[in-house]
Structure 1
Amino acid sequence: MKTPVRRPKAARRARRGQAMVEYSIINYVLVLGLMLSLTINFGSGEQKVNIIHAFLRAYQVYYDSFYFVLNLPFP
């Protein structure tokens, strides 16, 4: 009975690395497409804001208010 030949670790790692690169490129294209295509109107309708920027702005307001509450002088 013949023993199977083992592949070197570098060959196995190369295929896994290629899959990660492809996965990263696909995710980058999807996120970029969403960022460029999704815009929403705020206020008077003249100002267009990217939805990612709107979420980041909302998170910043949340973070600032939380930080403000933590720094109140009350015990």
Structure 2
Amino acid sequence: MKTPPPRSQLRRRHRRGQAMVEYSFINWILLFGLIVMMSVDFGRGEEKMNIIDAFLRAYQIYYDSFYFVLNLPFP
């Protein structure tokens, strides 16, 4: 029959798990706050856009132009 592990090991395991949950939660809050709070003005100031949306829009424009150049009728 196996003997159960000492109580000190069980407590240590729970503390480490709690620290990881707290660390992950704090990082999530900071990242979410940065994404929500960052907005970029484009043009006359009528259109405010999140920084992530701006990066995605720039990537879409880059991808569309690359695809357009590949489909030109010239050899």
Q: Following TM superposition, by how much is the alpha carbon of 1:28 offset from its aligned partner in structure 2, in angstroms?
A: 3.3
Q: Are residue 28 (structure 1) and residue 67 (structure 2) matched? A: no
Return the letter of the residue paired with 2:31: V
Question: In structure 1, how many angstroms separate the alpha carbons of the residues matched to 2:69 and 2:23?
Answer: 41
Q: Are residue 46 (structure 1) and residue 73 (structure 2) matched? A: no
TM, length-normalised to structure 2: 0.61
Q: Following TM superposition, by how much is the alpha carbon of 1:49 offset from its aligned partner in structure 2, in angstroms?
A: 0.6
Listed as ranges, the gaps of 5+ residues in structure 2 are 1-16
How many residue pairs get matched? 63
Question: In structure 2, how many angstroms separate the alpha carbons of the residues matched to 1:37 and 1:60?
Answer: 23
Residues 72 and 22 of structure 1: CA distance in aligned 2, closer, same or farther (over 3 Å): farther
What is the Cα-based RMSD across aligned positions, in Å?
2.6
